[in-house]
């Protein structure tokens, strides 16, 4: 059915306080993002009644209206035209809302701004690595054999996929260097150079550092002798914290130099001085400190989950979806990557994937309960979206609106998280956080993860259907009474 995007934009414009209340507006894949002058002028109930709108909320100083992929860009174009404002980027809108944020929100925003642009590369690498693991998993498809052993002709395919999968992780510091330099106001190309410096082939591979540091098999850590200062010749493949901190330092140095170096020699002086100083600090100070900090953080996290795994899993499974509502979930990308680098796998990401599935399952239950064609359509499409890792439409458009399915999703997520945590399920990489997630799970844990997936599907659906009658006002008599 064709939509009247002009009428929808008109209604939204009136509900957010008119054109005069808009500082800047942009859109992402599914949401309008608007920096408002006065939040008090927003009529939330009126916005929720607008066709296509699946929900709305304010986060990090930015008012966001969930519309959905494919429609949001058309509504945005009409909104901008009717309001008479210039188009803006998501980063510009976020910047406009910075003054409304707390320190914690600003920290979360840094992680979000850095990792969101490179997330596609990480997800693709995770999926390819998962496929690669399946090819090399003994007993997964053939008793006591891997597919490679049963079909030697797949060896070339395995090698090619392995190289493609490892690329994003081996050169992860370069990706983070580019994105972080852009976020901190420095030169993006220098951020890439600094990231590549930290994974230069002349440096000891990061994954061999532990063996060399322990002196196993006669190995030792090589070093540069710089006027008596010993700097370890160690790379930081797959590491997040070293390049994140080094990129911030590099950007500060570059920004300090720009107004102080004459224009005629800026191109010669600024890049050289910036890279030499920041590169030296990265290898001599920042890298070693942040490497040990990263190891300490991951060890502490592992210790807590080992000490009381069911409690940690219960809390994480129940609280992850609320963290998504605040935007704080972006911080876990760095935690996952740090766990993968230091522990060989992450136990956090499998729980995240199951949380997404649980919210999608609750929305699917509402599809069966709701009577209105519009609401049923919203429930079904948002459930599919959540099953493939994007939960905002399901949570804001359905589950939070009716409350009970949101709580049912949290319960299912918590139960599934406890199950897989007690079974020590790990993911070798980050992939699509929904039904396809099993591809990225370490093969020996896939059966248990699939069992956790069933729990994340069955519990929310069952709870929503069984308790719907006790919450008759949940949908204003739009809930079918067959529950």
Determine the Cα–Cα distance for residues 171 and 121; give it in Å rounded to an integer. 11
| Residues 323 and 355 sit within 8 Å (Cβ to Cβ) | no
**Cβ-based neighbours of 408, under 8 Å, separated by 6 or more:** 362, 365, 459, 460, 461, 463, 464, 467
The conformation of residue 205, written as its DSSP 8-state character, comes to P
Helices marked H in 283-396: 287-307, 309-326, 331-343, 348-369, 373-387, 392-394
Work out the number of other CB atoms within 10 angstroms of the CB of residue 41: 13
**Cβ-based neighbours of 285, under 8 Å, separated by 6 or more:** none
Determine the Cα–Cα distance for residues 327 and 104; give it in Å rounded to an integer. 11
Q: E strands along 60-111, which residues?
A: 62-66
Of residues 13, 14, 19, 28, which has the active-site annotation? 28
Determine the Cα–Cα distance for residues 34 and 417; give it in Å rounded to an integer. 35
| H or E stretch at 113 | helix 103-115
415 is catalytic: no
Q: Where on the phi/psi map is residue 58: left (φ > 0), alpha (ψ -120 to 50), or beta? A: beta
| H or E stretch at 168 | helix 155-170
Selection from 361, 380, 358, 366 nearest residue 471 by Cα: 366
The string over 338-367, giving b where at least 16 C-beta atoms fall within 10 Å of a residue's C-beta and e elsewhere, is bbbbbeebbbbbbbbbbbbbbbbbbbbbbb
**Cβ-based neighbours of 395, under 8 Å, separated by 6 or more:** 55, 321, 324, 325, 359, 386, 406, 409
Tokens of 219: 């190995």
Supply the residues annotated as catalytic: 28
């Amino acid at each position: 059915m064709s939509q009247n995007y002009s009428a929808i934009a008109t209604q939204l414009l009136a509900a957010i306080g008119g054109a005069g209340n808009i500082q800047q507006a942009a859109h992402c894949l599914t949401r309008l993002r608007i920096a408002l002058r006065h939040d008090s002028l927003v009529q939330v109930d009126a916005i929720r009644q607008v066709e296509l709108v699946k929900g709305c909320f304010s986060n990090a100083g930015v008012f966001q209206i969930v519309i959905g992929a494919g429609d949001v860009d058309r509504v945005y174009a009409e909104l901008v035209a009717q309001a008479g404002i210039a188009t803006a980027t998501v980063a510009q809108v976020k910047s406009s809302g910075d003054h409304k944020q707390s320190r914690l929100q600003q920290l979360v925003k840094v992680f979000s701004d850095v990792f969101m642009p490179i997330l596609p590369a990480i997800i693709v690498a995770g999926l390819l690595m998962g496929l690669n693991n399946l090819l090399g998993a003994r007993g997964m498809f053939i008793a006591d054999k891997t597919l490679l052993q049963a079909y030697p002709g797949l060896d070339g395919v395995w090698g090619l996929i392995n190289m493609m999968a490892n690329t994003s992780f081996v050169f992860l510091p370069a990706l983070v260097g580019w994105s972080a330099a852009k976020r901190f106001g420095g030169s993006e190309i220098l951020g890439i150079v600094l990231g590549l410096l930290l994974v230069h082939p002349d440096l000891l591979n990061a994954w061999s550092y532990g063996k060399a540091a322990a002196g196993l098999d006669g190995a030792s850590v090589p070093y540069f002798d710089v006027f008596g200062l010993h700097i370890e010749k160690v790379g930081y493949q797959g590491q997040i914290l070293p390049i994140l901190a080094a990129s911030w330092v590099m950007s500060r140095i570059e920004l300090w130099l720009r107004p102080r170096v004459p224009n005629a020699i800026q191109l010669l002086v600024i890049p050289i001085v910036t890279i030499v100083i920041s590169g030296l600090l990265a290898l001599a100070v920042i890298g070693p400190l942040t490497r040990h900090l990263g190891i300490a953080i991951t060890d502490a996290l592992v210790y807590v989950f080992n000490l009381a795994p069911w409690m940690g899993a219960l809390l994480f499974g129940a609280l992850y979806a609320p963290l998504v509502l605040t935007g704080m979930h972006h911080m876990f990308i760095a935690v996952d990557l740090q766990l993968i680098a230091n522990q060989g796998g992450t136990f956090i990401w499998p729980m995240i994937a199951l949380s997404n599935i649980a919210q999608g399952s609750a929305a699917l239950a509402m599809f069966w309960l709701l009577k209105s064609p519009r609401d049923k359509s919203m429930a079904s499409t948002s459930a599919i979206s959540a099953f493939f890792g994007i939960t905002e439409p399901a949570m804001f458009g359905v589950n939070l609106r009716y409350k009970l399915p949101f709580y049912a999703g949290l319960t299912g997520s918590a139960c599934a998280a406890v199950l897989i945590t007690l079974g020590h399920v790990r993911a070798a990489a980050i992939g699509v956080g929904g039904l396809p997630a099993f591809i990225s799970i370490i093969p020996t844990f896939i059966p248990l993860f699939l069992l956790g997936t069933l729990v994340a599907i069955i519990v929310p659906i069952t709870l929503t259907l069984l308790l719907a009658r006790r919450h008759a006002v949940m949908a204003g008599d739009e809930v079918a009474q067959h529950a």
